[in-house]
């Protein structure tokens, strides 16, 4: 093993990716618009809010040239609501709170109606199809309209953005100590859920079944990747001989002619009696 880093990407790299997230700032100084690789930035005029990439916002914040508006989910109330849902709510005992809705893509809530929603692609100026994903979605910008009934969903890069904002801009947040504590609790609850998925993992390794990781953030995936893939791999190896036998049996049945899915089940039922 010449390469010293483990498989997957490190927390620092994930945090680097998260710095592309757009956040809302209130500038304190004028700044002309910048031409960046990711597109032009609007000029900053003091009382007016502007959307900037997180890295630039943090830079300006450190130089005291701007204040960062915290994203809607980074409020103590929103976080404690989320924590309550994650830890108490029956529906979310083994699931994570739903991720924010992606434009043109189905959200978890849609599945409850029984219809399978389909993803709608977006088109570039050249007419090419694409599906936008974080960090190129405004998931962390401050909202002007704030409905008290709906819980703001946790974005993909919630651990990173939350941590970096607490680090650099804690005076812009509402009750930073509380937020810090809630973020930590939330992370622990979700980590425990992810690890409890190990119990049903052999079904995932044998094909069929599995663990839903919908709504899990980038950092959480990065942290558990090594462990979870190791478990799946181990279970796959142990079950390999059984799987082999099952396949051979299926191939045999197919070779004997007239194999279809229903017949297989009937035969098994019969044998049990």
Residue from 59, 81, 95, 235 binding another protein (CB under 8 A): 235
In the complex, the smallest distance separating the C-beta of residue 6 from another protein, rounded to whole angstroms, is 6
Distances (CA, A) of 85 to 52, 92, 265: 31, 7, 39
Pairwise CA distance, residues 212 & 203, whole Å: 13
To another protein, the closest distance from the beta carbon of 73 in angstroms equals 18
State how far the Cα of 74 lies from the Cα of 160, in Å rounded to an integer.
12
**Per-residue x/- marks for another protein, 155-174, CB under 8 A?**
--------x---x-------
What would the x/- binding string for another protein be over residues 190 to 209, using CB under 8 A? Answer: -x---xx-xx-xx-------
Instruction: Name residue 52's beta-bridge partners.
Output: 23
**Starting at the edge strand that comes first in sequence, how are the strands of the sheet with 22-27 ordered?**
50-53, 22-27, 66-69
Euclidean distance between the first and the last CA atom of the chain, given in angstroms as a whole number: 54
**Binding residue for another protein, selected from 241, 255, 257, 270, defined by CB under 8 A:** 241
> What is the nearest approach in angstroms of another protein to the Cβ of residue 65?
24
Tell me the CA distances in angstroms from 171 to 24, 51, 152, 186, 224, one per residue in order. 15, 19, 22, 22, 32
**Residue from 136, 146, 227, 259 binding another protein (CB under 8 A):** 227
Contacts to another protein by CB under 8 A: 6, 10-12, 15, 163, 167, 191, 195-196, 198-199, 201-202, 219, 222-227, 230-231, 234-235, 237-242, 245
């Amino acid at each position: 093993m010449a390469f010293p880093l483990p498989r997957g990407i490190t927390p620092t790299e994930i945090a680097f990716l998260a710095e592309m997230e757009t956040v809302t700032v209130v500038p304190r100084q004028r700044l002309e618009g910048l031409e960046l690789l990711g597109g032009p930035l609007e000029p900053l005029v003091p009382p007016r809010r502007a959307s900037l990439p997180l890295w630039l916002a943090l830079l300006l914040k450190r130089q005291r040239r701007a204040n960062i508006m915290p994203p809607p989910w980074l409020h103590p109330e929103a976080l404690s609501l989320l924590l309550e849902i994650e830890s108490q709510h029956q529906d979310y005992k083994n699931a994570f709170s739903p991720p924010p809705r992606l434009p043109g893509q189905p959200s978890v809530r849609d599945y409850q109606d029984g219809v399978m929603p389909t993803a709608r692609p977006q088109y570039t100026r050249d007419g090419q199809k694409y599906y936008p994903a974080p960090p190129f979605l405004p998931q962390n910008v401050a909202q002007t309209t704030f409905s008290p009934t709906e819980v703001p969903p946790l974005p993909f890069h919630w651990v990173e953005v939350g941590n970096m904002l607490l680090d650099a801009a804690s005076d812009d947040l509402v009750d930073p100590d509380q937020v810090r504590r809630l973020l930590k609790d939330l992370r622990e609850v979700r980590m425990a859920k992810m690890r409890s998925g190990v119990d049903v993992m052999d079904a995932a390794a044998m094909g069929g079944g599995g663990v839903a990781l919908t709504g899990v953030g980038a950092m959480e995936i990065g942290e558990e990747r090594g462990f979870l893939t190791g478990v799946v791999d181990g279970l796959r190896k142990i079950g390999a001989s059984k799987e082999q036998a099952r396949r051979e049996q299926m191939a045999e049945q197919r070779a004997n002619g007239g194999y279809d899915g229903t017949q297989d089940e009937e035969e098994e039922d019969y044998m049990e009696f």
